[in-house]
Amino acid sequence: MLFWVLGFLILCGFLWTRKGKLKIADITDKYIFITGCDSGFGNLAARTFDKKGFHVIAACLTESGSTALKSETSERLRTVLLDVTDPENVKRTAQWVKNQVGEKGLWGLINNAGIPGVLAPTDWLTLEDYREPIEVNLFGLISVTLNMLPLVKKAQGRVINVSSVGGRLAIVGGGYTPSKYAVEGFNDSLRRDMKAFGVHVSCIEPGLFKTNLADPVKVTEKKLAIWEQLSPDIKQQYGEGYIEKSLDKLKGNKSYANMDLSLVVECMDHALTSLFPKTHYAVGKDAKIFWIPLSHMPAVLQDFLLLKRKTELANPKAV
């Protein structure tokens, strides 16, 4: 009996692996739209999918980003300037994309644009500090999705939302984590709503990657700017050496950062081309081994492990 059970489990494992490797038949007639292509994941995705033969429409925030991308890709790739927080810009872009794709519709929408905002303790921040990353990472993503969705439904295509392990676990203070938690919720409701239309929706959850988004110099500059505006009471609680100590911890975290951005693009590729795309893709060793498993653990264990990573305050009782 045990032999048959073992054989059945091996067969199931083989079929499950085989299922994930089945691909769509043709990609050369398919259009995909990617946001945030100036640098990082979006830039690499645009170049990679262009080489594979997709008709890539790459949205960049800056003219310089658009020009640089066009110089590295084929004539097939198109770029468009897009600020995802500008509703009129998004509407005009969606109409332009509709004219480009025609009756074929849009096979893939990759919502990749995002910013970290200010990463700092909660009591340092204002509502505006929270608003900026939420406008880009959440409302910008929703705006692009709603405007492009008719084209994706026409193609019975794919929507891929780039979230983060920060959407599963509150690692840092600031608007980044709330925005990514909300992206996860939007992604799940969208996935269920689109199932009847034959549209697959996937969520990509990268761990810590070395990109411009996580540049420690920029993170520190923003922290220093906010520190200068803090009240004397808060400065006394945290201590004058707090930022230097937190920077040392941040430098220590760099050793855990994933260097290979193609790991994220490979997940985008699977979500775009597999006959059976996954609903969630955890990317990076840190995400798979630490962050995602920890997100399923009791809060007391999460707090214990995450608080050990935080910088100690000089005098928290000075209130």
Whole-prediction pTM value? 0.91
CA dihedral (298, 246, 259, 262) positive or negative: positive
Q: Among all chains, which residue has been given the structure tokens 């480009």?
A: 100
CA dist 134 and 180 (Å) reads 8
CA dihedral (63, 64, 65, 68) positive or negative: positive
CA dist 62 and 36 (Å) reads 10
Q: What is the pLDDT of residue 246?
A: 81
Identify any residues that bridge with 56 across adjacent strands, giving them in sequence order: 32
**Is 238 a known active-site residue?**
no
CA dist 97 and 57 (Å) reads 8
Structure tokens at 281: 């893709």
Under a CB-based contact definition with an 8 Å cutoff, are residues 65 and 37 in contact?
yes
Structure tokens at 262: 């193609």
Which domains, and CATH codes, for the chain? 26-211+256-296 (3.40.50.720)
Structure tokens at 289: 């081994």
Under a CB-based contact definition with an 8 Å cutoff, are residues 214 and 257 in contact?
yes
User: How far apart are the two ends of the chain, measured CA to CA in Å?
Assistant: 68
Q: What is the amino acid identity at position 208? A: L
Q: Tell me the DSSP string of 135-155.
A: IIIIIIHHHHHHHHHHHHHHH
Under a CB-based contact definition with an 8 Å cutoff, are residues 57 and 110 in contact?
no
> Over its length of 319 residues, how does the chain's per-residue pLDDT go in tens digits?
666 666 556 655 555 565 667 899 889 999 999 999 999 999 999 999 999 999 999 999 999 999 999 999 999 999 999 999 999 999 999 999 999 999 999 999 999 999 999 999 999 999 999 999 999 999 999 999 999 999 999 999 999 999 999 999 999 999 999 999 999 999 999 999 999 999 999 999 999 998 877 677 787 888 889 999 999 999 999 998 898 888 777 665 655 678 899 999 999 999 999 999 999 999 999 999 999 999 999 999 999 999 998 888 988 887 7
**Gyration radius (Cα) of the chain, Å:** 21
Residues 6+ apart with CB under 8 A from 138: 179, 182, 183, 186
- Strand, coil or helix: what is 281? strand
- Strand, coil or helix: what is 20? helix
Q: Among all chains, which residue has been given the structure tokens 């200010």?
A: 118
Identify any residues that bridge with 282 across adjacent strands, giving them in sequence order: 205
Q: What is the torsion angle, in degrees rounded to the nearest 10, for the CA atoms of residue 74, residue 104, residue 29 and residue 266?
A: 80
- Exactly one of 31, 130, 176, 181 is catalytic; which is it? 176
142 Rama sector, left if φ>0, alpha if ψ -120 to 50, beta otherwise = alpha
Q: What is the pLDDT of residue 3?
A: 63
